[in-house]
Structures are given as structure tokens and as C-alpha cells.
């Protein structure tokens, strides 16, 4: 008799577990179906900042924000835009501008409960009316990294690529790559055009 009770209990537990898994999957599908129809980006991270889920808008927005990077992955977005924040676990809201001059708000929520797991939620919100068809020089300059700004100042002083390499302790190929990125961001073709733009610094 006890054997039958044990088997019955085991089967009941298995069925309950299976139903619970089906419910979780159903909840996830509902969330994903809803999120994928939204222009707002949604990323769900575990407590180690690994992506558990992201919708189509999040993929597109992060790809746009990482236009000038070799990789355009959610993981790189997390490293570049989230993990660099102080006390990130407490949550934050910040505005960023993509290389195409679209402004986005990144909203990082503190720990939330999702399907009985504790996670971080990241919302990527496009700000309407902020894309400029003719961005100002100041807007373009704001996209330069600190290293690119440093190189701009050295170019303005008349440094050659070799001199920049020696001054900044980076390889000549790295200097060339930075300068090409600067040309692309400031929409110039050569150093002459760059020097004209740098008059605004």
C-alpha cells in the first residue's frame, strides 16, 4: 500500500511541476509577445548582469547605440552603458545619444521579481522629436570618447600620427583607427576638414 502511495505522490509532484513549468512558459510568451509589439526596449538581466531576455526593440536600440563598435551585442551594451555606473544596483536613469543623433533614456530598475526570480529590468525609451537631420557640431563632438578628444587636441597642435602614438603610448594602428572614427563621427574626410570642425572646441 505504501508503495502505491509513494508512486501516487511522485506522479502528483511530477504533474504539478509540469503544470508550473507550462505556466511559467505561458507567462514568458505573453510577456515577450507584448514586449515585442512595443517601441520601448526591454532587457531582463540576472543578478550577474547576464541577459535572460530582450525584445526586438531592445536589440535594435542597442545595435544603434553600438554603431561604432565592432560588436553589437546586448552583452557589450551592458558593459558599456550599465556596469560603468556607480552603485548600479540602486537603479538609475540617464540620457544617451546614438551616432545617428537619436536620444534615448536608459532606465535601470533595482531588483524586481519576475517568475519567482530576482532580476534587473532595463528599459530603453526613445525620446520623440530629438533626432536632428542637421546635428550641430557640438552634438557631434559630444559623441567623441575621451581618447578621441585627446587625439583631436593633438591633431589641432599639429602632431603627426607617429607623434600622437608616442605621446599617448598607443600603437600607430590604434591612432589611425581613432582618427578614422573621429572622421566618421564628425563627418569629415581628412585632417583639413577636421581642423575646421575643431575650431568649435
Query: Cell numbers of 151, please?
Result: 587625439
Low-confidence ranges of the chain (pLDDT < 50): 4, 7-8, 10-11, 15-16, 19-21, 24, 27, 30, 33-34, 130, 132
Amino acid 19: pLDDT: 44
Q: Give me the count of residues in the chain.
A: 201
Amino acid 125: pLDDT: 86
What is the distance between the alpha carbons of residues 140 and 44, in angstroms, rounded to a whole number?
A: 31
Write the CA distances from 90 to 54, 62, 82, 97, 155, integer angstroms: 21, 22, 12, 23, 41
Contact 79, 43 (CB under 8 A): no
Amino acid 121: pLDDT: 84
Query: Cell numbers of 21, please?
Result: 513549468
Name the DSSP class of 39. S
Amino acid 30: pLDDT: 46
Amino acid 97: pLDDT: 84
Contact 155, 195 (CB under 8 A): yes
For the chain, list the domains and their CATH numbers.
Answer: 39-131 (3.30.450.20), 137-198 (1.10.10.10)
What is the distance between the alpha carbons of residues 119 and 43, in angstroms, rounded to a whole number?
A: 10
Amino acid 69: pLDDT: 80
E strand or H helix that includes residue 45: strand 41-45
What is the distance between the alpha carbons of residues 141 and 73, in angstroms, rounded to a whole number?
A: 25
Q: For all residues of the chain together, what is the average pLDDT?
A: 76
Amino acid 113: pLDDT: 60
Going by C-beta distance under 8 Å and a sequence separation of 6 or more, which residues neighbour residue 133? Answer: none
DSSP string, 131-169: --SS--HHHHHTTS-HHHHHHHHHHHTT--HHHHHHHHT
Amino acid at each position: 500500500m505504501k508503495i502505491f502511495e509513494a508512486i501516487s505522490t511522485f506522479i502528483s509532484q511530477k504533474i504539478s511541476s509540469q503544470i508550473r513549468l507550462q505556466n511559467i512558459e505561458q507567462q514568458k510568451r505573453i510577456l515577450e509577445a507584448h514586449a515585442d509589439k512595443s517601441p520601448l526596449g526591454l532587457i531582463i538581466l540576472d543578478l550577474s548582469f547576464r541577459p535572460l531576455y530582450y525584445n526586438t526593440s531592445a536589440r535594435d536600440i542597442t545595435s544603434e547605440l553600438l554603431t561604432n563598435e565592432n560588436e553589437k551585442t546586448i552583452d557589450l551594451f551592458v558593459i558599456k552603458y550599465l556596469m560603468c555606473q556607480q552603485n548600479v544596483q540602486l537603479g538609475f536613469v540617464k540620457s544617451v545619444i546614438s551616432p545617428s543623433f537619436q536620444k534615448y533614456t536608459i532606465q535601470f530598475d533595482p531588483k524586481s521579481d519576475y517568475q519567482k526570480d530576482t532580476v534587473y529590468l532595463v528599459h530603453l525609451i526613445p525620446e520623440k522629436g530629438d533626432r536632428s537631420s542637421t546635428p550641430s557640431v557640438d552634438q557631434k563632438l559630444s559623441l567623441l570618447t575621451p581618447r578621441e578628444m585627446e587625439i583631436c587636441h593633438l591633431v589641432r597642435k599639429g602632431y603627426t600620427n607617429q607623434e600622437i602614438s608616442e605621446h599617448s603610448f598607443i600603437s600607430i594602428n590604434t591612432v589611425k583607427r581613432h582618427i578614422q572614427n573621429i572622421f566618421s563621427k564628425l563627418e569629415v574626410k581628412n585632417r583639413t576638414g577636421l581642423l575646421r570642425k575643431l575650431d568649435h572646441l
